[in-house]
Amino acid sequence: MMDSPDSLFSSAFFSSAVAVTLAEMGDKTQLLTLFLTLKFRNRWAIVLAIVLATLVNHGLSAWFGVWLGDRLELWLSDGWIDWLLAGSFMAMGLWVLIPDKDDGGESRFLAFGAFFATLVLFSLAELGDKTQVATVLLAAEWQQPMLVTLGTTLGMLIANVPVIWFGQALLQRTPLDRVRYVTSICFFAGGVWILLM
């Protein structure tokens, strides 16, 4: 998939930002962000920790996605790769319909303060999360780990920074079920788009 740098930036970066923004709506990390904001009230420390945790987590995930995409190319013909990636996007579309459960046992990290508690808890919450899987899939598709990482990090910030500043009022007005349905449709559309490319 050799495109010009401009189209690569707009495609890999933009699609990654949009996919993660949508996948993050109603996710447990959004609820964790609200909890941390109410607990610490140090908004900038929380934002910086989210940026760092996301860059590390999604950066590693993107590099794994590129590695996985390279291996799939060796093992499968081009047609099969497209079908596998499209199926993965559609599976993500089903996965986002399942609401996250709140994971307990995180209180021991709260003694670390706003920045370190957010860094640790956010990193743990992202392990195996929908947005991490989406990052792997996006990097496997685009083979641009830096642009995918930057896009997914921006998507994470778009979804979580308003929660930091507007908190509970914003989440109470957001119809999370509708957001999940729209997100699911977007992932299915992404799968169809991969097949039509």
Asked if residue 6 has pLDDT above 60, the reply is no
Biggest distance spanned by C-alpha atoms of the chain: 52
Cβ neighbours of residue 61 closer than 8 Å, sequence gap 6 or more: 132, 135, 136, 139
Reported as a single tens digit per residue, the pLDDT across 114-142 is 999 999 988 988 888 888 888 998 898 88
The per-residue pLDDT of the chain, averaged, comes to 80
d(CA 125, CA 136): 16
Q: What is the mean pLDDT of residues 101-121?
A: 75
What is the reported pTM?
0.72
Q: What is the DSSP letter of 12?
A: I
With beta carbons less than 8 A apart as the criterion, state whether 176 and 98 touch. no
Residue (of 158, 168, 2, 146) closest to 61 by Cα position: 146
Highest-confidence segment of 10-19, 44-53, 160-169: 44-53
The total of other beta-carbon atoms located within 10 Å of residue 105's CB is: 7
Highest-confidence segment of 13-22, 78-87, 99-108: 13-22
Asked if residue 172 has pLDDT above 70, the reply is no
Asked if residue 100 has pLDDT above 60, the reply is no
